[in-house]
Amino acid sequence: MRAQVLTAAGRPLVATELPAARPGPQQLLIAVRACAVCRTDLHVVDGELSDPKLPLVPGHEIIGTIVEKGESADRFRVGDRVGVPWLGWTCGVCEYCQSGRKNLCDRARFTGYQIDGGYAELTVADERYCFAIDERYGDVEAAPLMCAGLIGYRTLRMAGDAPLVGIYGFGAAAHIVAQVARYQGRRLFAFTRPGDVAAQDFARSLGAEWTGGSDQPPPEPLDAALIFAPVGALVPAALAATKKGGTVVSGGIHMSDIPSFPYRILWEERVVRSVANLTRCDAEEFLALAPEAGITTETVSYPLARANDALSDLRNGALQGAAVLVT
């Protein structure tokens, strides 16, 4: 099978012909139709996440069709279409797994990081972390739901019932979360890179009633802030824009260092927290809600062979919506 392979951090991916993997007992062999490119892939390729298997096939927003099942796999049938997300395996016995927090499993393994992912014609996934995809979505438009959508949804959930939400960084995750927030009847402000008029127009088209640079104060204080840009300086900026008792949630897996800030912008019961990975429950909830809420995704397709171009366009901020590799 054709695959795009990372051989060492900081190097471009290499087009490689690999032997097709075989599914283990509870695994599925999946013909990849589409795989979205997540900012986490960039962090892996650039070496900011330091623990990938090598060589590695990246990619954890996979949509594909089951071509073969392991002997004890019984959740799906051959021919079914499934989505495969970042969380790829959990141990089931650690204190986190035992308390409904599988996203924090001590021995968790991740797709496109410790498990070969979707930048390939075929991939193998544990059926417990595969999800049915509503038929209303095409392969390409469904792909960004698998991480930008799922992690974005969990990030929004951590904001509680905040009626006015500010989003910092308007990329793939934000463009989905904005639609969920509006569907839930929340008001939305969007903060982009200063001067990024295109991103601000995009945010307004998805229901943001105010947009501005991340260096600007909002016209009224936020009930909660969601940060999707990997920029630590946004944490104090978001705190300063958030009301008493409000929450600032960081949805990313990697961020530059957070600069020190005066305690008074945290005081009055403001909360700063992060979101890590996803649970199966998040995925089931979000993938049911997305078609009901009419969530759409904006995508830019690249053939699999152009994975490096997709990564550099994401790195350079040249994308509106999500890049998707098509096999």
Shortest separation between residue 312's beta carbon and Zn ion, angstroms: 17
Residue ranges in the chain assigned as alpha helix (H): 39-45, 95-98, 139-142, 148-157, 172-183, 197-205, 234-240, 280-292, 307-315
The single residue among 66, 97, 125, 159 that binds Zn ion, judged by CB under 5 A, is: 97
Angle at 93 between CA 92 and CA 99, to 5 degrees: 80
Tokens 């509870």, located at residue? 26
Of 166, 213, 210, 171, the C-alpha closest to 193 is 213
Q: Contact with Zn ion (CB under 5 A): which of 35, 105, 167, 188?
A: 105
Shortest approach of Zn ion to residue 22 CB, angstroms? 25
Q: Does 174 bind Zn ion (CB under 5 A)?
A: no
Residue 162 touches Zn ion, criterion: CB under 5 A: no
Task: Tell which residue, 166, 120, 124, has the closest CA to residue 25.
Answer: 124
Span near Zn ion by CB under 5 A; candidates 65-73, 97-105, 161-169, 316-324: 97-105
320: Cβ contacts below 8 Å, ≥ 6 apart? 198, 199, 202, 298, 300
Supply the minimum distance, in Å, between the C-beta of residue 277 and Zn ion: 10
> Which of 82/162 has CB closer to Zn ion?
82
- Residues in the chain, how many? 327
Q: Residue 78 phi/psi, 5° resolution?
A: -60, 135
Q: Judged by CB, which is closer to Zn ion: 40, or 297?
A: 40
Query: Whole-number minimum distance, CB 276 to Zn ion, in Å?
Result: 12
Binding flag, residue 38, Zn ion (CB under 5 A): yes
- Whole-angstrom Cα distance, residue 117 to residue 149? 18
**Cβ distance to Zn ion smaller for residue 38 or 164:** 38
Q: How far is the CB of 211 from Zn ion (least distance, A)?
A: 24
- Is beta strand 27-37 parallel, antiparallel or unpaired with respect to 122-126? antiparallel
91 binds Zn ion (CB under 5 A): yes
Q: Cβ closer to Zn ion: 218 or 317?
A: 317
For residue 277, state whether it binds Zn ion (rule: CB under 5 A).
no
DSSP 193: S
**Which one of residues 4, 27, 40, 123 is an interface residue with Zn ion (CB under 5 A)?**
40
Q: Is 104 in the site for Zn ion (CB under 5 A)?
A: no
Q: Which residues lie near Zn ion (CB under 5 A)? A: 38, 40, 90-91, 94, 97, 105, 147
